[in-house]
Structure 1
Amino acid sequence: MKFNLIRLGKSLSLSLLLFSCIENDPERPLGEFDSGILIMNEGAFGANDGEVFHLNPSTGTLKTNIFESANARPFAGLLEDIIYENDNLYLVANTGKIEIVNPGDFTSLGAITSDLDQPRSLTVNSGKLFISDYGPYDQSYGTPSSYIAVVRNSLGGVVAKKIPVSRKPEDVISFGNYILVAGSEEGKVEVIDAEKEEVIKTIEVEGSPAVFYEAAGKIWLYSTGSDEVYFYSFHLDNFTLATTNIYPIPNATGKIAFGNNDIMYLLTSSGWPEYRDGIAQVSVLGPELNPNWYSGSGFYGIGFDKERGELYLANTNGFQGNGTITVLDENGTELRSFESGRGPSGFLMR
């Protein structure tokens, strides 16, 4: 499944940085889950038993099934992504729904439970949700009807419009009144005007676009090829490509974690029949490259705790029972491991 990277918000508005501390702006008291690490357990296909765990890395305390505990009902879906935006947490299930929860206690604030097919991720813009969705499969298991679903309320509701985009849209990110869409199957980045709710531009790129991220005041895109990976930056005044960095890293999966000192950790997998997995380490702003930084099998998710300088690696154990989380230091030395839920696939460091 997609889960690449669980982010602390995907909207980039540089001007807002100047006004982030407005006087007399009341602050919400911190809740139990406003700090620590959220672990996304995708769940098993057919069982739809995805859930979220919470880890306090200072004490090692792990709380399981926090959505079900807070709402007295199971999540009942396959978790694809978790996004923190607009002071809310959005739990995206590729089984066709989105749950919106309070970040502090995980109580439900709203949901989208109909008229979605295979949602992958979302962003908030102009008070609306823009949700990337593969659309339904055709008879050949293709996705010719992929779209961005528009919900005109940040706390959920009905799908008001579906904007057609290239096949298999993955990540989405906001900039001003615009949305950038990573079209993974056709190598396209589509730009949507959030007010008009329509595609206004398409940018061709190499590889399979996977993840947007923000660095040095720019929007970047991580894209994977069969034998290399690509890092693109964009001119945000006219939405054109600015820079392209290419690294010879084969078998990259699209899952990535952002470490300290501009170091990035890329999950790789040889796939069938070898099933050799690994972590490549690169620096986008420098020449450092280590395509074989760490190796193993069964890797499915990755995240980095910048405060402690620790890499979290999720292992599904073949979806035979619960998965395992392994914690590494910045030298690749194993520090500890612990059991997670079914199919752990990503992390949100809070």
Structure 2
Amino acid sequence: MFTNKFLFRTSYQLSLLSLGLFLFSCEKNETQVQPYNNGVLIFNAGNFFDNNGTLSLFDRDTKTVTTDIFLKENNRSLAGGLTGYSEVDGKGIILVDNSTDGKDAIEIVDAKTFKSIASIKGEVDNPRQVVRVSTNKAYITCWDTFNTDYSYKFGFIAVLDLTTNKITKKIPVDNGAESIVVIGTNAYVGNVGSQRTIKVVDTQKDEVVSSIEVGANPSNFVLDASNKIWMIVGKQIVLFNPTTKSIEKTFSSGSDIKKSPSNLSISNDKNTLYFTYNFYDATDGYKLKGQINAIEISSGVSKTFINRTFSSVNVDSKKEQIYTTLIPSYKQAGYVFRYQMNGTLIDSVKAEIAPSGFYFK
């Protein structure tokens, strides 16, 4: 009788142990198996009229690309061009610009699994960039729709509450509202709509509190180590001091009057600015031509960094590498090229249609 009880107890304890190990294994695997924890998200704008924008994930180590991860995880497409993405408190916010009026959207996903949390439709027009403001709160810049003469209507900032996943307010700003950064309790908003001002928004009141003239189309904002804003104004690179509310430095982007700077980014050590310096050649079927330039901040000298035409340039501060994109056409797959910080090519991978930017995880 004792033996039977002992065997029964031992068997029972072993069963509990096995069950515990199984549950621990499941819990461990559930924690570990988060396919989008790490890597580089590639923004593929797609063809505007085909509404086929996507997000891809590039694995830095295996050098492989997982295509259209939103479709993969949710069994539906984004149904529009992709204009922006960022992450706020564990949620990924995807900006979708559909070619049909009234169908632009914000898709909110779990940033680790990319499973859909919410879709907001009919609340935004031409969404451009998204930025974290505070806990569970984000701002989204929007161009708004066009007038009949194809000029922009006044833009706005959509205030997104991530506790309810709803737009709670629209803050009127300049037309063509695009670039935005948050410093303390203020957001600084630029535009590409032929305006000459930066709008300053109090993020606690969600109101514009001042307008500062800096020059034509202030855009492509990046922050340096002192929380000062580098931006492109016209064809120049300028440093704006948000404390003094004035331009502190002005650099020439280059000497070619045909070319325009865009896609401004900054090195991890905050000592070098990189930007595409391109133009569309009317004598050769309006093909995109140009190069990537670099400006050493201490000297202000602009020079060719990569003598090849790319559509965008970004710096991966996690790996200290430079990422560029190549768009052969808006009907075929594009490519991503990686470079060392000295300009030496590392490798290239095929992306999807119109790769236009990155989010580094």
Q: State TM-score, norm by structure 1.
A: 0.83
After superposition, residues 10-159 of structure 1 pair within 5 angstroms as 31-95=34-98, 96-125=104-133, 127-153=136-162, 156-157=165-166, 159=167
1:263 corresponds in structure 2 to: 272
Q: Which runs of 5+ in 2 are unaligned?
A: 1-29, 99-103
324, 333, 341: which one aligns with 2:344:
333
**Is the Cα–Cα contact under 8 Å of residues 40 and 347 in structure 1 kept in the other structure?**
yes
Query: How far apart, CA to CA, are the structure 2 residues paired with 1:269 and 1:242?
Result: 25
> 1:78 offset after TM fit, Å?
0.6
**Is the Cα–Cα contact under 8 Å of residues 40 and 359 in structure 2 kept in the other structure?**
yes
Q: Which runs of 5+ in 1 are unaligned?
A: 1-27
Matched, 1:316 2:327: yes
> 1:263 offset after TM fit, Å?
1.8
**Is the Cα–Cα contact under 8 Å of residues 222 and 254 in structure 1 kept in the other structure?**
no
RMSD, matched Cα: 2.3
Query: How far apart, CA to CA, are the structure 2 residues paired with 1:322 and 1:155?
Result: 37
> 1:241 offset after TM fit, Å?
2.3
Q: State TM-score, norm by structure 2.
A: 0.80
- Structure with the largest fraction of helix: 2
Q: Quick one: higher RCO (CA 8 Å, sep 6+), 1 or 2?
A: 1
Q: Which amino acid aligns with 1:302?
A: V
2:306 corresponds in structure 1 to: 294
195, 203, 209: which one aligns with 2:204:
195
Query: How far apart, CA to CA, are the structure 2 residues paired with 1:99 and 1:276?
Result: 34
Matched, 1:172 2:180: yes
> 1:154 offset after TM fit, Å?
5.3
Query: How far apart, CA to CA, are the structure 2 residues paired with 1:195 and 1:306?
Result: 30
Query: How far apart, CA to CA, are the structure 2 residues paired with 1:143 and 1:278?
Result: 30
**Is the Cα–Cα contact under 8 Å of residues 143 and 175 in structure 2 kept in the other structure?**
yes
**Is the Cα–Cα contact under 8 Å of residues 143 and 168 in structure 1 kept in the other structure?**
yes
**Is the Cα–Cα contact under 8 Å of residues 233 and 244 in structure 1 kept in the other structure?**
no
Q: Which amino acid aligns with 2:110?
A: N
> 1:288 offset after TM fit, Å?
5.6
Query: How far apart, CA to CA, are the structure 2 residues paired with 1:209 and 1:144?
Result: 17
After superposition, residues 272-291 of structure 1 pair within 5 angstroms as 272-273=281-282, 275-284=288-297, 286-287=298-299, 289-291=301-303
Q: Specify the SS of the correspondent of 1:323.
A: strand
CA deviation string 1:182-201 (max 9, x = no partner) = 13331211111233322110
